[in-house]
Structures are given as C-alpha cells and as structure tokens.
Amino acid sequence: MKTYAGIDLHSSNNYIGVINHKNERLHSRRYDNNLKTVLKVLRKYKRTLQGVVVESTYNWYWLVDGLMENNYKVHLANPAAIQQYKGLKHRDDKKDAFWLAHLLQLGILAQGYIYPKKLRSVRDMFRRRMMFVKQRTTQTLSLQSMIARNRGVEQSVSAIVRFRDDFIKQMFDCPHLVSTALHQIETIRFLGKQIEAIESEVETMVELDSAYRGLLTIPGIGRILAMTIMLEVGDIRRFEKVGHYSSYCRCVKAQSLSNGKKKGNNNRKNGNRYLAWAYVEAANHNKRSCSQARKFLERKMAEKNYTVAIKALANKLSKASYFIMRDQTTYDPALLFR
C-alpha cells in the first residue's frame, strides 16, 4: 500500500494529513511545530510513504531540512500554483493538508525549488545587504530633501555621503536641523560599514561558479550583482525555458486577456524580487556603457516611458544571462540587439 503525506505549515503549528493510494484518510491531526513530533507521526508510515508535501511558507527551512536529513522524500509545494476552487463554501487547514497529499498522489503537484542548505544562509545574509542598501538610500534621500527645503540647494546623493560633521554644522543655522542631519549622516555611515562588511564576508565564502563567471562579461554586471544572481538562482537547469527564467525574475508583463481585451493584472509579485531588482540595476548601468542598449532604450522610450523601457532592457539582460549561465558562454550584444 502506498501512502502520501501533506503538511499545512503555520508559524506555530502544523496540520498533518496522510492518505493511501485509494485517497482514504489514515491520519489527521494538528501538532505544535516540533521536528521530533512530526518525525514520530510519520515514522509509522515511513516504509510505504511515497513523499511528504510541505507548503512553501516563510518558515519551511527547519521542517524540510529535518525531514530530508531523516531520509524522507520531501516536496515543497508552490502555493501560488495550487490554489483550490474558489467557490468552496468551507476550507480549513485539514482540507489543505489532504489536498496537498492528494495532488502528490495524482502526480500533479506544482513544486517549488528546495534551495541547497549549504548556501542558503549565505544567500539570506546577502539579502540583508539589500535591506541595508534600501535603508541607507531612504536616509540619504530624506537628508537631501531636508537640505532642499531649508537651503533651496539640491545636493547629489554622492556628495551627501561624503559630508563631514563640520560642514553640516555650518549648513544650518537651527540647532535642531543640525542635530537631525548629524543623526542621519551617522546612520548612513553605519549602514555603509555594515554593507561593506557583508560584501567582504560573502566574497570570502563564495566564489563565482564557472556557469556564473560569464555574467561579468555583461556591461553593467559586476561582482556584487553577479553574486546576487548566482545566490538567488541556484541551479539554472531548473528552468526548462528562457521564458520561465525571465518570468521568475519578474521581467515579463503580468496581465489577463480575454477576446483580445485586458481583464486585469495577474500576480505581478509572483517570482523573485531580488532578481527583479538585480536586473533593473544591471539595466541602469548597462545603458551607460553599451551603445546598442542605449539605442534600444531610446526606441522603447519613444513608444512608452522610461519605466517600461528600462524594464524591457532588464528583460533582455535576464534572457541573455540565462543562456550565458546555461551554456557557459560570454555576452554578445550583436545577438541580443540584432
């Protein structure tokens, strides 16, 4: 007899449902989040268990790692792709757990990527770097705005980062404005040190694989963006087609059409927001150093606007990087912009 298990995971508890090949329910109960408890429940079915489905929530690491270390075949369910019929009158955690197990039994489970545990902590550290970058930018723009309001002078972001304390004290005649500016400059400097420390630490732990060294040949992609892409993508072979990869990078249009008419926007946030940021950053740098990219951007801006144009260039770069990583080749603008 073959059995299948589904686990509906939450922040503090989980619901385990086990079925057999006839879709008969063998086990149904809620438990606190404790690996030993989950393993004890599944031990009874281990010989016949064909797989355990875990819903991909923000806290799946501990459960998936624990199950895999104990030799269970684990499947990470993609919740965005396995929604149940919205007309259901009643739905709860119990139904969700058995639904996951049933999809596995039928062989139609939409699965997510289980990122290798070895590099997962490094990837998460690099994600914190991006958070610090955004916070530093917020503080810099806030100080820039305060200077413009009170002095009528627009200072560039690069100039603000280099401000010295004595220069700030002379800039404002109000002690409260001076105090605010000094606090913000101190915060900007602190965040800058944290960003540099993370970059140095990650560079010592991670070396670009041969599949990713070709990314450095793309104008606008340096070591930081190349490492970001490498750590976020993992194994490029998990994307069967280039369109799947560019969609995962949020570089394609999200819309719903019926009879040639737009019926709304689909889930624009479906995909990896860190890769979406990386390719937009790469596009902004690429336009400055690649004449063909600049011409492409100008043509798109004549049709739409700058935001749409830069997103189109980001889409081009995501597709180029897919083939560079998959085929371990180098960047050729003639192929990209022909």
Taking only the tens place, the pLDDT of each residue in 120-176 is 999 999 999 999 999 999 999 999 999 999 988 888 888 888 888 888 888 888 899
- pLDDT band with cut points at 50, 70 and 90 for residue 321: very high
Question: Would you list the domain boundaries of the chain?
Answer: 3-106, 117-205, 210-336
- pLDDT band with cut points at 50, 70 and 90 for residue 338: confident
pLDDT: which is higher, 118 or 256: 118
* Pairing of β 261-264 and β 256-258: antiparallel
| pLDDT(42) > 90 | yes
- pLDDT band with cut points at 50, 70 and 90 for residue 14: very high
Average pLDDT score over residue span 11-18: 95
pLDDT: which is higher, 209 or 111: 111
Select 3-106's CATH number: 1.20.1290.10, 3.30.420.40, 3.40.50.720, 3.40.50.300: 3.30.420.40
- The answer to which of 28-32, 227-231, 241-245, 289-293 has the lowest mean pLDDT is 289-293
List, in order, residues 6 or more apart from 134 with CB less than 8 Å away: none
Provide the 10 A C-beta neighbour count for residue 166.
8
Alpha-carbon distance 60 to 120, whole Å? 12
- Per DSSP, what are the bridge partners of residue 5? 18, 52
Q: Please give the pLDDT value at position 263.
A: 58
296 in Cβ contact with 337 (< 8 Å): yes
pTM: 0.85
**Phi and psi at residue 85, to the nearest 5°:** -55, 125
Average pLDDT score over residue span 195-216: 89
Q: Please give the pLDDT value at position 289.
A: 87
Instruction: Determine the residue type at 330.
Output: T
Q: Please give the pLDDT value at position 191.
A: 95
Q: Please give the pLDDT value at position 81.
A: 77
- pLDDT band with cut points at 50, 70 and 90 for residue 71: very high
| pLDDT(306) > 70 | yes
CB pairs under 8 A, 24+ apart, for 9-16? 9/33, 9/54, 9/55, 9/57, 9/59, 9/60, 9/63, 10/57, 10/93, 11/59, 14/38, 14/63, 15/93, 15/94, 15/96, 15/97, 16/41, 16/42, 16/97
- Per DSSP, what are the bridge partners of residue 14? 9, 31
Tell me how long the chain is: 338
3-state secondary structure 281-332: HHHHHHHHHCHHHHHHHHHHHHHCCHHHHHHHHHHHHHHHHHHHHHHCCCCC
Alpha helices in 206-271 (DSSP H): 210-213, 223-233, 242-248
Mean pLDDT of the chain: 89
Alpha-carbon distance 75 to 7, whole Å? 10
Nearest to 101 by CA among 15, 9, 18: 18
Nearest to 306 by CA among 279, 283, 322: 283
Nearest to 132 by CA among 198, 180, 185: 198
* C-alpha triplet 28, 110, 124: angle, nearest 5°: 95
| pLDDT(86) > 80 | no
- pLDDT band with cut points at 50, 70 and 90 for residue 60: very high
